[in-house]
Amino acid sequence: MKLLFDQNLLAKLCGLLSDVCVGSQHVRVDLGLHESPDELIWAYALEHGFVVVSKDDDFRQLSAVRGAPPKVLCLDIGNTPTAFVAALLRRNLELIAEFVADPEAALLVLTRDQG
């Protein structure tokens, strides 16, 4: 599964998860979309088959209004170290894969306590 990490997450996540999320990218470092409106990031994810990963409620709202694709993985975790975020995603890979495969699902929210 290809993840598109929003600017509120560190680009380092792409490397930390490269073995399980091949082809993942970061909006600022890989795409230069750091000052782009969320709608442009949404369109890029849609066109290129990414799951948007963000801590930003704006993507949660876009998902509620527009549905999928693209799918949105919202991290409701507050300020946490990048290593914690990577570990959370790894612990929940099966759940995330089921979410990606579900044609009806548009939004998955992960919290600090999951996994």
Q: Are 108 and 99 spatial neighbours (Cβ–Cβ below 8 Å)? A: yes
What's phi and psi for 25, nearest 5 deg? -140, 165
Q: With cut-offs at 50, 70 and 90, classify the pLDDT of residue 35.
A: confident
pTM exceeds 0.75: yes
What's the pLDDT score for residue 86? Answer: 97
Q: How far is CA 24 from CA 13, 27, 78, 103, in A?
A: 9, 10, 22, 21
Comparing C-alpha atoms, which of 61, 81, 84, 82 is closest to residue 72? 61
3-state secondary structure of 32: coil
Residue 85 has pLDDT above 80, yes or no: yes
What's the pLDDT score for residue 114? Answer: 78
Domain total for the chain? 1
What's the pLDDT score for residue 115? Answer: 63
Tokens representing 109? 């929210």
Stretch 97-111: mean pLDDT:
97
Q: What are the counts of helices (DSSP H) followed by strands (DSSP E) for the chain? A: 5, 5
Stretch 10-31: mean pLDDT:
93
Stretch 17-30: mean pLDDT:
92
Residue keyed to tokens 């612990």: 91
Distance CA 60, CA 91 (A): 22
Q: Are 75 and 53 spatial neighbours (Cβ–Cβ below 8 Å)? A: yes
Residue 10 has pLDDT above 90, yes or no: yes
User: Which structural domain range is residue 62 located in?
Assistant: 3-111
